[in-house]
Structure 1
Amino acid sequence: MLRATSHAHRIEAEPFGTLTLDSNDRHLRRKLVTTDQDVQVMVDLPAPVLLADGDALILEDGGAIRILAATEELYQVRPGRVPLRHLAWHIGNRHLAAQIDEDRILVRRDHVIRDMLEGLGATVEEVAERFQPVHGAYHSHDHGHAQGHDHGHSHARGAHGHHHD
C-alpha cells in the first residue's frame, strides 16, 4: 500500500493522482484514503495538517497526490443594510467555518444561520462551490511554539511591577 508521509503547498510535477475532499476531510494526520483513481493510500503525517485546494500529499517514493477541494452546499452571504465586516463578526461569534472574500462570505448551509443573517439585512443565496474556510485562533499551525518563541510578548516589568510595552 502507498504511504503519504509529508505534504507540500504547491507542486510543479505531474501528480500520481488526485484526492477530492471537502473542507472537513482536508484536516488530516493519519487516515486511509482512496484517491479519485481508486488507489488506497495510508496518510501518515507527523502532525495534523489542514490541506487546501492545490496542496499535495507526498508519497514515500517521491510521488505526489494533488488535493482538490470538493464542491459543497453553501450559502453565499452578501451585505445588505449592514457592512460585510458586521456579518463576519456575527458569523465568527458563532464559531462557524467561513470563507471570507472581498465582497462575500461563504458558510455551510444551516437554516437557523440563514434566518439570522437575513434578519441582519444580508442577502443569502444557495450556491455549490469549493470551500476554503479561514482558520484563525483555534487552528494549529506551528509558529515557533515548539522552539520556545513567545511572539515578542516579553512583558518586561519595571521597578514597580508595571508593564513597559
Structure 2
Amino acid sequence: MPTATSVTRHFHDPAGTITLDETARHRRRMKMVSDNGIEFLLDLAEARLLRHGDGLLLDDGQVIEVRAAPEDLLEVRGRDARHLLALTWQIGNRHLAAQILPDRILIRRDHVIRDMLEGLGAAVADVSAPFDPEGGAYGDAHGAHGHGHAHAHHHDH
C-alpha cells in the first residue's frame, strides 16, 4: 500500500482527490481511500490540519489532492470593518475555530453563539461551504480544530 509521508502545495495532475470535512482533515496517521478508490496510508511526522488544495505525496510518486468538504456553517457579517473586527474578537474569546475572510467570518453552527452574535448586531446566515479555519497560535501542527479544554481564567471581562 502506498504511503504519504509529506504534504506539498506544488503538484500538477493529481492521481486522485480525497474529500474530507475539517475534523477529518486533522490527521497524522491513518489508512485512507481517495474519492476514486486509491488506498494509501497517511503517515506524517506530526498531526496537522490538511488544507484544501494540499497534495499528499505518495511514496510511489503519485499525489492525492485534499478537498475540503462542505459543512454546515454560520456566515457572520458586521455592519462595517470595525464591527466585524469586534465580532471576530468575541468569537476568538470563546476559542472557536473560525475562517476569517475580508468581509465575513465562517464558524461551525451553534445556536447559542448565533444568538450571541445576533445580539451584538451581526448578520448571521446558515451556509454550506468548505471550512478552512485559521491555524492556532502554535501553527497547523495543533491547528484550530475543535476541542474541549479547561483553564484557570474566566471570560467575564
TM range (shorter): 0.7 to 0.9
The residue type equivalent to 1:98 in the other structure is A
Q: 1:27 and 2:26 equivalent? A: yes
Offset, 1:141: 4.8
Larger radius of gyration: 1
User: Following the alignment from structure 2 to structure 1, what is the Cα–Cα distance between the partners of residues 6 and 32?
Assistant: 15
Q: Which has the higher contact order (CA 8 A, sep 6+)?
A: 2
Question: Which digits, 9 at most, give the CA deviation of each residue in 1:18-76, with x for residues without a partner?
Answer: 00011121122101111101222110112222211111100011110000111111010
Q: Which residues in structure 2 correspond to 1:49-64 (within 5 Å)?
A: 49-64=48-63
The count of residues paired between Structure 1 and Structure 2 equals: 141
User: Following the alignment from structure 1 to structure 2, what is the Cα–Cα distance between the partners of residues 6 and 96?
Assistant: 28
The residue type equivalent to 2:32 in the other structure is V
Offset, 1:134: 0.6
Unaligned runs of 5+ in 2: 143-157
Distance of aligned partners of 1:71 and 1:24 in 2 relative to their CA distance in 1, 3 Å threshold: same
Offset, 1:105: 0.4
User: Following the alignment from structure 2 to structure 1, what is the Cα–Cα distance between the partners of residues 22 and 98?
Assistant: 10
Q: Which residues in structure 2 correspond to 1:136-147 (within 5 Å)?
A: 136-141=136-141
CA RMSD after TM alignment: 1.7
Offset, 1:137: 1.1
User: Following the alignment from structure 1 to structure 2, what is the Cα–Cα distance between the partners of residues 136 and 29?
Assistant: 17
Distance of aligned partners of 1:138 and 1:113 in 2 relative to their CA distance in 1, 3 Å threshold: farther
User: Following the alignment from structure 1 to structure 2, what is the Cα–Cα distance between the partners of residues 78 and 126?
Assistant: 12
Which of structure 1's runs of 4+ aligned residues deviate more than 6 A? none
